[in-house]
Structure 1
Amino acid sequence: MMRRLASLPGGRVGKWVVLALWAALLIPVLMLAGRLGDVEENDNSAWLPGNAESTEVVARAENFQRADTVPAIVIYDRPGGVTPDDMAEARADAEAFKGMENVAGQPQGPLKAEDGKAIQTVVQVRKDKTGWEGIGKTVDAMTEVGKENADGLGFHVTGPAGHASDSIKAFSGGGALTTITALVVVVMLLLTYRSPLLPLLPLLTVGVALATSEAVIYLLAKNAGLVVNKQTSFILTVLVFGAATDYALLLISRYREELLRHEDRHEAMAEALYRSGPAIVASAATVAVSLTLLMLATLSSTQGLGPACAVGILVGLLAMVTLMPALLVICGRWIFWPVRPAYGSAEETREGVWDRVGAAVSRRPRIVWIATSLVLGIMAIGMLGLKADGLSNKDQFTSTPQMAVGERIQSEHFPAGSGDPVVVVAGAASAERVRTALSGVPGVVGVSAPVVKDGEAIMLGELEDDPSGKNAIRTVERVRTAVHGIEGADAQVGGSTAIMLDTQEAAARDSEVIIPIVLVVVLLILALLLRAVVAPLLLMATVVLSFGAALGVSSLVFHHVFHFAGEEASFPLLTFVFLVALGIDYNIFLVTRVREVALLHGTRRGALTGLSTTGGVITSAGLVLAGTFAAMASLPLVFAAELGFAVAFGVLLDTLIVRSVLVTALTLDAGRWMWWPSRLFRQHEAAVGVAQRAGSGGVAMRI
């Protein structure tokens, strides 16, 4: 049955059917994929669960203020002091802002700073159906007006609207990210196969897979409530390119081997799919299941990222086991030009680098795996310096955008929290008690008079510190403690700072819950695949150790080389899921080949042969995946740079050290116990018993 299925995509008729089906699918796919941006939700509040306190405040505050607006804080500055003409221009600008599309209500200000060197105006910008894009266009229009001011008067737009505008500009590099990722794939395939034509087929197939994934995700977001954002889009791009190309490398490698043994390329492809298919499917399933478990997250952005990326993995798998075989067989052997695999040609038998690595490890495998584990453990110590408690707005960029400059100038001349207050909603009867409690909280420098409507009261508290900074978050924690303690007040605290606090708490909870579940589920998948207990436990231990080492080194690099301020709260969980799932991928590719050989020749021979035969292709696959994630550094975002570096480094570590040295040494040292209690373990045990009885008989005869 499996052989018959494997023969279909590359069959004489099947290849054309597969090509026709994908070609027909491509028309609606391209129409839908381009609309993915229409369903993205990029607001921080949209990422939180509905029961988060700051989310509930948004709903309760709708009676008092528009829930679909964010403040744009306009800052003017002149080092020598602003002039009356500067104030006149700021007032004229405020009138111009009021007439702009998506500006709500009357601007607040302009207000001159006490030191006379800066002016501040707060403008409420309405979010239209395009979300960040609409805010960005409004901020751009405001900037055009401000730049017409007299020479020497600085103009900057900061606050949540300024942050949204600069963020959309940073994410606009998604097209460049796709181009860079594609170039990485092409270069790696050229180096691997030394063919100018062959890379075109995987690249074409990956492109089709990415577009199809985006179309499916669009439909899920529009009709099934899946939450997607710009972060989802760029991670999806690198993941589909990296993982799907890995599957292509494994398939092409096996197909090339089979072309040497089969004159008919259709038969060669059928055998290649039959032999490599189970490992590819198992690997993709492991990654997809691990990512799907992110649905257990309370943070909506993480909850949506998991199934979206799982869709990308599964579509990539489908394309690589249907479209890719069809294209390879249609093109024939010439696609490998200039070194075409001719039928009957002998395979290269010269000793390769992985043969030498295997020979070196096999001399003292126990010493090797103990020493390697100790080195990885030392590397993992760097995790103690991880600061995954969120980043302030200005620290989220690798460059210095307009928002960050404006925020710095604002903090020098105005209270840092002006224009972006903490929002407190309570029952009307308790309004004054809540206001008194809010006024007494350290870090709150001013409180508005309560506004009462329909039995509810709302008040705003001005923060002393940067609303996106850690000090402001601690102030919001104190505010919640103060107002929650008022009996019968039903007081809740919201605002952008409270949203950041709830995001951090949700991300911490998600890590504590999801990481153990992922470990257990992946362990069960490995146990079913290998039909053993010891091997899955050892493989999981190596992957977790590899993750710790990667995170430890990454933490040191982030803080002492790149000088980043810290990490986003969701960084450890996402890094863990990607590294564990993708790390297990390579172990599956290796161990399935080891088991295949061990069934015939024993575990020692299987370990060395498995390393020798898979070393080249797995190394190439690891380099491709690391390169695609490293391409994320092209986005001027700290989160993208950190996630890209950590996953790229972890994949290289797993590919070059953990899989080749640690797993091989453990397999050699464990021997037949690696497969306990499977049939392979019992087969070895029986073989040993036969050998012992034969040895005893031989001695008796000689006597």
Structure 2
Amino acid sequence: MQVEIQNTRKHEQRTRPGPVRWVLPALVITAWLVFGALGGGLPGKLAQVQTNDGVSFLPADAEATEVAHLQEKFAGGKIQPALVIYSRDGKLADGDSQVVADRAARIARLPGLAGPSSAPVTAPAGDAVRVIVPVSGVDGFETGKTVGKMRDIAAENLPDGLRVNVTGPAGFTADFGEVFGGIDGQLLVITAIVVVVILVLVYRSPLLPIVVLASAGLALVLSSAAVYPLARDGVLTLNGQSQGILFILVFGASTDYALLLVARYREELVDRAGSWQAIVAAVKASFESIAASAGTVILGLLCLLFSELSSNKGLGPVAAIGIAASLIASLTFLPAALALLGRAAFWPTQPNKHHKPGVWQRLAEVVGRRFRPVWIATALVLAALAALAPMLKSTGVSQTDVFLDRTDAVVGQEVLAGHFPGGAGSPVVVVVNDQVAAQVVQAAKVPGVADVTANPKVVDGKVEVDAVLQATTDSPEAKETVQRIRDAVRAVPGADAKVGGQTAIQAEVIASAERDRTVIIPIVLVVIFLVLALLLRALLAPFVLIATVVLSFAATLGVAALVFNNVFDFPGSDPSVPLYAFVFLVALGIDYNIFLMTRVREESHKSGTRAGALHALAVTGGVITSAGVVLAATFAALSVLPILFMAQIAFLVAFGVLLDTLIVRSLLVPALTLDIGRRIWWPGRLRLGER
């Protein structure tokens, strides 16, 4: 083998390309590195343009959104109230009132407030006192900084036994900001380590992982350069969830595309004299499948634009930009780097023809002999798991369950509910015509309401009526009370009542998320079917591929239901969780089928569908499985963020990708293709070829 390698190197020297063949890659790499140096800080700046308050998730035409905008007129700007609550296990001590008054006075002088604080209110049992502080909500990043200073002042030198927490909308915004503010550090480091470890195991080379990681990092800078100004100028909504998903998608997709390109490059190096010829041939051979894969994911993500929720509408283009950036970097920087490195990229090993039949060759032989039992058994197992999917609880969770850790706002909300009416500090807001304000106040006193007051300020003939609920703002009882309030105030003649507030916001977010699942899932399926039909020049093959991925998705939901309910004991999930999981799993799951079936189609032209399917499984099995493991591992990294939504998405996508890679793409799809035979290409001309 050593003699063969030496002969190959001598042949490369005789056929070495002219200077342009290394000048062009060098220029491409230089341009990318300059861009990376100039824009390297952009991923870290994305946290400054996040919007994590509840209103930013709502549809623009929702009633609660309209009320939120009307509230800004009454308050003279966007406000997020912070509730500072002091408590003891027993009665408040004699000096506690003076301590609270002193802290309230100091907090009132903080910059970033939108008005004077309320007077301290003592709980009926005399064991707690609260102060409501209106914080400017124009900039969520600044809101978090203001609340941080507020917490420092409130907790400074407290008497023994006196505790303080800051909760309310501003408190939760600050806690979200603290969690997501570290995405560019903690999450990126963990993701990079995971990718490097897996790539070292795959390639047995120290150089290739560095090149692939550099390509992913540059793709992240490129995507951040596009997302940052769009989020800053309000063109799209960026929140902590979508930023975390963007980072993971870029690393996962970039690595997947790199694995496919490098695998083809390795094949071409065996048969071609020089690295330039090999990389050109590799790009030509893999371009269609990589571009089709990226295009499918991009179109699937853009289907989120049909969502009513602003947060979903923002995630679609944000994630699509990340995939596009990954595609660009993988087809420019990566080929240029491989062209310059040549065979040295695989050091200390060398690509060669002499290899023993591997596990994928043996698996292809097994599938080839017993394809019908394989696909029937696989489908039955997946169907059994899918039958458990209805057990997944996705009707929403309370605000205190959103965090996996007990943050200050979560603890404060529990303390508040234990000493005051549950809705204290976050009342239901009713905006009505001022002539009938008194009638509306009386009408709003429905069961479940602790107190109703009208704000005397009149703006454009409207007044604000606040109804404090007895139940906590995010409880089912509170949502039922809001509906009773709506029914009651709308019945007042001439009121033109609009009902909003935190409880109404959460109820409308859940309703919109449930609607989105019904509307967007069919749209995604139709879009992906059309892409596959164009790519494979067939109608039956796309139908089969989509059916297998949907079955895999349903099985993933079934497993998640078991794990979430019985292992992690999660309280439930947001209605958007199944939708996000569907979009990512179907789009990304189709990715691996595209990688496989484009190779099957290529080989079928040469040797028929049966031989083509078996050869494609044997030669793509390793690289596609490696890509699936990398993508699953990168999504699993989302679980380091102590947010229920992110932990659930991490499990669903990671498990679903592994299931799709190891079972669906390795067993179900090849076995079905063999059983259907050349008819899989119906109505394309390839169906007329050899079986």
Aligned to 1:692: none
Q: Tell me if 1:265 matches 2:275.
A: yes
Specify the code of the residue in structure 2 equivalent to 1:212. Answer: L
Paired residue type of 1:552: G
1:8-52 deviation digits (Å, cap 9, x = unpaired): 999434212322332343355336555433433222212323211
| 2:95 matches 1:88 | no
Offset of residue 73 of structure 1 = 1.2
User: Which residue of 2 is the match for residue 157 of structure 1?
Assistant: 166
- Residue 206 of structure 1 contacts residue 240 of structure 1 at CA under 8 Å; is this kept in 2? yes
1:606 paired residue among 612, 619, 639 = 612
Q: Equivalents in 2 of 1:225, 1:181: separation in Å?
A: 29
> Which among 534, 553, 561 is matched to residue 555 of structure 1?
561
> Does residue 125 of structure 1 match 2:135?
yes
Q: Secondary structure at the match of 1:243?
A: helix
Quick one: distance in 1 between partners of 2:685 and 2:493? 66
After superposition, what is the alpha-carbon deviation per residue over 1:352-411, rounded to whole angstroms, capped at 9, x for unaligned? 222232233333322322221221122122321222222222101111111121221221
Find out whether 1:596 has 2:602 as its counterpart. yes
Alpha carbons of structure 1 residues 136 and 8: separation in structure 2 relative to 1, 3 Å: farther
- The whole-number CA distance in structure 2 between the counterparts of 1:397 and 1:37 is 18
Q: Could you tell me which residue of structure 1 aligns to residue 51 of structure 2?
A: 41
Q: 3-state SS of the aligned residue for 1:75?
A: strand
From 170, 178, 195, the counterpart of 2:179? 170
What letter is aligned with 1:216?
Answer: A
| Deviation readout 1:295-342 (Å, 9 max, x if unpaired) | 12121111011111111111111110111010111122122111022x
Mean CA deviation greater in 444-453 or 185-194: 444-453
> Within 1, Cα distance between the matches of 2:671 and 2:596?
13
Partners of 2:135 and 2:143 within 8 A in 1 = no
Is 1:370 the counterpart of 2:355 in the alignment? Answer: no
Contact 2:302 2:320 in 1 (8 A): yes
**Which amino acid in the other structure matches residue 454 of structure 2?**
A
Q: Give me the whole-angstrom Cα distance separating, in 2, the residues matched to 1:10 and 1:362.
A: 47
For residues 645 and 172 of structure 2, the distance between their equivalents in structure 1, rounded to whole angstroms, comes to 15
- Is residue 245 from structure 1 mapped to residue 260 from structure 2 by the alignment? no
**Alpha-carbon distance between aligned partners in 1 of 2:418 and 2:69, rounded to the nearest angstrom:** 34
Indicate conservation of the 8 Å contact 2:47/2:181, yes or no: no
Matched residue SS, 2:465: strand
Which of 43, 64, 69 matches 2:74? 64
In structure 2, distance between residues paired with 1:196 and 1:86:
63
Report the counterpart of residue 618 of structure 1 in structure 2.
Answer: 624
Q: CA deviation at 1:563?
A: 1.5
Is 1:141 aligned to residue 120 of structure 2?
no
| Distance 1:195-1:69 versus aligned 2 partners, 3 A rule | same
Q: Deviations over 1:589-610 (max 9, x none)?
A: 0111111112222222122111
Match of 2:217 in 1: 207
Corresponding residue for residue 426 of structure 1: 432
Encode CA deviations 1:528-560: one digit per residue, 9 max, x unaligned: 100011110000000111111111211221122
Q: Which of 237, 243, 253 lines up with 1:233 in the alignment? A: 243
Alignment of 1:467-482 (within 5 A): 467-482=473-488
Describe the SS at the equivalent of 1:566. coil
The answer as to whether partners of 1:533 and 1:676 remain within 8 angstroms in 2 is yes
Residue ranges of structure 1 left out of the alignment (5+ in a row): 1-6, 689-703
Q: 1:480 to 1:68 in 2, by over 3 A?
A: same
Query: Cα gap change, 1:586/1:47 in structure 2, threshold over 3 Å: closer, same or farther?
Result: same
The residue identity in structure 2 corresponding to 1:496 is: Q
Q: Is residue 449 of structure 1 aligned with residue 454 of structure 2?
A: yes
Distance 2:192 2:330 in 1: 16
Distance 2:603 2:255 in 1: 26
Q: Secondary structure at the match of 1:74?
A: strand
Could you report, residue by residue, the CA deviation over 1:404-451 in whole angstroms, capped at 9, with x for unpaired residues? 2122122111111111101000112332332222112x2211111353
Distance 1:112 1:192 in 2: 64
Deviations 1:225-264 (A, max 9, x none): 1221222211100000001100000111111111111121
Deviation at residue 497 of structure 1 after TM alignment: 1.4
Q: How many residues align?
A: 673
Counterpart CA distance in 1 for 2:592 and 2:267 is 20
Deviation at residue 76 of structure 1 after TM alignment: 1.4
CA distance in 1, matches of 2:113, 2:157: 20
Unaligned runs of 5+ in 2: 1-16
Q: Are residues 189 and 450 of structure 1, via their aligned partners in 2, closer, same or farther at CA, if it must alter by over 3 Å?
A: same
| C-alpha contact 1:448 1:461 (8 A) present in aligned 2 | yes
Of 523, 527, 533, the residue aligned with 1:521 is: 527
- 1:173 aligned partner, one-letter code: G
Paired with 1:212 and 1:660, the residues of 2 have a C-alpha distance of 34
Distance in structure 2 (CA, Å) of the matches to 1:486 and 1:574: 41
Bigger Cα displacement from structure 2, 597-606 vs 576-585:
597-606
| Cα RMSD for the two superposed structures | 2.0
| Aligned with residue 325 of structure 1, among 308, 331, 335 | 335
Equivalent-residue separation in structure 1 for 2:207 and 2:72 (angstroms): 59
> CA 1:9/1:597 → structure 2, altered by over 3 Å: closer, same or farther?
farther
Give runs of aligned pairs for residues 373-384 of structure 1, distance below 5 A.
373-384=379-390
Matched, 1:338 2:348: yes
The answer to whether residue 522 in structure 2 is matched with residue 512 in structure 1 is: no
In structure 1, the partner of 2:5 is none
For 1:572, the equivalent position in structure 2 comes to 578
Q: Report which stretch shifted further, 247-256 or 162-171.
A: 162-171
Supply the AA of the counterpart residue of 2:601. Answer: R
Structure 1 residues 452 and 222, CA, compared in 2 at 3 Å: closer, same or farther? closer
Residue of structure 1 equivalent to 2:393: 387
Q: What's the CA shift for 1:196?
A: 1.5
Q: Percent identity?
A: 47
Corresponding residue number in structure 2 for 1:695: none
Q: Give me the TM-score of the superposition, normalised by structure 2.
A: 0.94
Q: Is this contact kept in 2: 1:79–1:117, CA < 8 A?
A: yes
For residue 504 of structure 2, what is the aligned residue in structure 1? 498
Kept in 2, the 8 Å contact 1:389–1:567? The answer is: yes
Indicate the SS of the match to 2:451: strand
The letter for the 1-side match of 2:133 is: V
**1:162-204 Cα deviation digits (max 9, x unpaired):** 1112111211331100100011110110010011221000001
> Could you say which residue in structure 1 is the equivalent of 2:11?
none
**Structure 1 residue identity aligned to 2:475:** G
Q: Is the 8 A contact 1:127 1:135 kept in 2?
A: no
**CA deviation vs aligned residue, 1:252-299 (integer Å, no higher than 9, x gap):** 111111111112110011111111111111101100111112112121
Contact 1:391/1:565, CA 8 A, preserved across alignment: yes
- Check whether the contact 2:103–2:153 (CA below 8 A) recurs between aligned residues: no
In structure 2, distance between residues paired with 1:118 and 1:463: 19
Cα distance between partner residues in 1 of 2:486 and 2:360 = 59
Q: State TM-score, norm by structure 1.
A: 0.92
Instruction: Identify if the C-alpha distance between structure 1 residues 90 and 593 changes in structure 2 by more than 3 Å, giving closer, same or farther.
Output: same
Q: CA deviation at 1:219?
A: 2.8
